Amino acid sequence: MTTLLLLLSCALCVLSLPLGDDRNNRDSAAWPEKIHHYALKKSGRHAQNTLKEDFELRRRPHYPTAPKNGAEVSNRPRCGVPDFPSKQNSVYNSLQRRGPYRRLQRGKRYVTTKGWNKKNFTYKILTGPPQMDLQKVKEVIRDALHVWSRVTHLTFTEVSGGKTDITIDFVRYEHGDKMPFDGLGGVLAHAFFPGTYRQGDVHFDYDEYWTLGNGMGTDLLQVAVHEFGHTLGLQHSRTSGSVMSPYYSFSYPPRLNKDDEKGIQFLYGIKIIPQRAPELETNDIMLVPNACDTDFDAVSTIRGELFFFKSGYVWRIRDGRLQDGYPALASRHWHGIPYNIDAAYEDTSGNIWFFKGQNYWVYDAEKKISGPDSVQTLGLPVIDIQAALMWGKDKAKRVYFFKGENYWRFNPLENWVDMSYARTMVDWSGIPNDIDAAFQDHYGFAHFLKGKKYWKFDPVRVIALEGYPRYIGMDFFNCPAYNYQ
C-alpha cells in the first residue's frame, strides 16, 4: 500500500510540472523591447559569444572532477607534456654546470630544451574543434604564434599542404603518438620538442569544450600559446602566472610574463623594434581632456571593461577602478581608429564597431578586420550617428543607433536595420534627445550620457530610474562633488 501511494505521488508530481510557454519568443512590436525576468546578476567577465554556442552547450561543465588517464593526481586540467626535463636534455642544467655561465644563470626560473636552428617557420592546421569553424581556428592560431614572435625574431607562415615545421591537429584518445587523450577534462593538449621524433607536432584534445575569451570552457588561445612554447623549445615553468605553467587557469588575452620572455629570448634572441615618432592625425596640439570636466564622444563595454572615448583618447575602467596609464591614445589599442569617433559598441561575437561620419570600422580585439565601410550598407538612412547601444538579453540582443530625437534598431544577425524609418525617443521613457553615448552594464541596465550627466534605464520597467541624471565624473571617475556645484 505504501509503495502504491508513493507511485501515485510521483505521478501527480510529474503531471503538475509547468508546461513550456513560447510567448516570450514572439517578436514584440513595441520598441525598445522589455526584458522579462532579466538576470540582474553581475558576471565576472563579459561572455564573448564568438563560437555561437547554443544554450545547452554553454551550460556544460568546464571539466570533470579528475583526469581519467592517471597522468596527474590533481584534478586541475593541464598540459600533457611531462613537467620538468631530465638533466641530459636540459640546456638550462648543462649551462648551470659550466663555469663561465654559472654566475649568469643564477636565479633563472625558465627551463628550455634546445631550440630549432631556424627562425622562420611554416605551419598547417589539419582539423579544428566542433565549436569553431576553420577560419576562426586559423585566426586563433595566428594570434597565438604572434604572442611569441612579438618578443623575439620569429616568423610563422601558414601553408595548406606539404611538409611543414609545425602541424596542428585536434584528435581523440589514442591517436598514434603513444600519448592518448582522456576525453573531456584532464589533459588538454600536448606538443613535441625540437629534436624529438615528432618535433613540431601540436595536438589538442578534440573532446574538450573549446571556447575563446569567455571563461565558459577551455580557452583555445591560451592553450595554443602554451603548446607553441613547447614546440619552440620551452619546458614547463614553476613561476606563478607564467604562460608555461603546466596547469590551466583562464586568463584572456594570454600574456607572457618575464619568465616566458626570458626563456624564448634565450633560445632565439631579443626582438628590438625601432622607435618612431607617434602619428598624429591633426596639426593641432592634442590636449588630454579632463574626465571630471568633459562630455564623452562614445562609451562601450569591451571584454567586460568600460571604455570612455574623447578627442582621440580613451579611459579604461575595470571593476569600477580607472586603470593605470589612462587616459591613453585610443590608437594605442586600435591602430587606424578615426580621431574623435561618434559611437562604439561590442557585438555578441566580441568584435568592436566604431562609427565616424558616414563610415564604420570593425576590429577583432586590437586587429582591424574591416573598414572604412559606409553605414548605408547596414541600411541606415542617416550619417553622423550620436550613440550606439547593444541592448537586450542573449539571442534577443539588438543594436540601437541614436541621432537627435530619433533612433533605429539594427539586427546583427541579418546585418541590417529592422526598418528604414526612425522611431522617436519617446519610447525610451525619461531619456532626453541628443544623447552623446550609451552602453549596457553587467546587470542589464542601459546607461545614456549627455553632457556631463547620465541616466540609468530599467530593462524590466522600461523607464529611467528615479534619482537620475547623475554626474558621470562623480560616479565613474571619483571626481569631487564640488566640481559640480
Residue reference for cell 530625437: 405
- 230 assigned ligand-binding residue: yes
Rounded alpha-carbon distances, angstroms, from residue 208 to 85, 171, 249: 27, 10, 15
H or E, element range at 21: none
Closest CA to 108 of 265, 271, 244, 263: 263
Is 13 annotated to bind a ligand? Reply is no
Q: What are phi and psi of 144, to 5 degrees?
A: -65, -40
101 Cβ neighbours under 8 A, 6+ residues apart: 95
Q: Which of 227, 261, 305, 366 is catalytic?
A: 227
Residues in the chain: 485
> Is 436 annotated among the ligand-binding residues?
yes
Please tell me whether 175 is known to bind a ligand: yes
226 is in an annotated binding site: yes
Tell whether 442 is in a known binding site: no
Q: How far is CA 340 from the centre of its chain?
A: 25
> Per the annotation, does 191 bind a ligand?
no
The C-alpha atoms of residue 57 and residue 209 are separated, in whole angstroms, by 8
- The sign of the CA dihedral 368, 373, 379, 384 is positive
Angle at 292 between CA 405 and CA 362, to 5 degrees: 55
Q: What region does 265 belong to: left with phi over 0, alpha with psi -120 to 50, or beta?
A: alpha
C-beta of residue 54 within 8 angstroms of C-beta of residue 211 = no
- Is 205 annotated in a binding site? The answer is yes
- Whether residue 183 is annotated as binding a ligand: the answer is yes
177 is in an annotated binding site: yes
227 as an active site residue: the answer is yes
As a whole number of angstroms, the distance between CA 367 and CA 140 comes to 12
Q: Which amino acid is at 371?
A: G
> Is position 388 annotated in a ligand binding site?
yes
CA distance linking residue 388 with residue 346, whole number of Å: 10
Does the annotation place 236 within a ligand binding site? yes
- Treating both helix axes as pointing N-terminal to C-terminal, what angle do 220-232 and 258-268 enclose, rounded to 10 degrees? 40
Ligand-binding annotation for 182, yes or no, is: yes
CA distance 470 to 448: 11
Please report, as a single letter, which amino acid is at residue 425.
M
Determine whether the annotation assigns residue 203 to a binding site.
yes
- Is 36 assigned to a binding site? no
CB atoms within 10 A of CB 415: 10
The DSSP call for residue 439 is E
In a 3-state reduction of DSSP, which class is residue 368? Answer: strand
What are the CA-CA distances from residue 110 to residues 146, 148, 201, 226, 265 (Å)? 20, 15, 22, 13, 11
Which residues participate in the annotated binding site for Ca(2+)?
A: 165, 182-183, 201, 205, 208, 297, 342, 344, 388, 436
Which residues participate in the annotated binding site?
A: 79, 165, 175, 177, 182-183, 190, 201, 203, 205, 208, 226, 230, 236, 244, 297, 342, 344, 388, 436
Q: What residues are labeled active site?
A: 227
Which residues participate in the annotated binding site for Zn(2+)?
A: 79, 175, 177, 190, 203, 226, 230, 236, 244
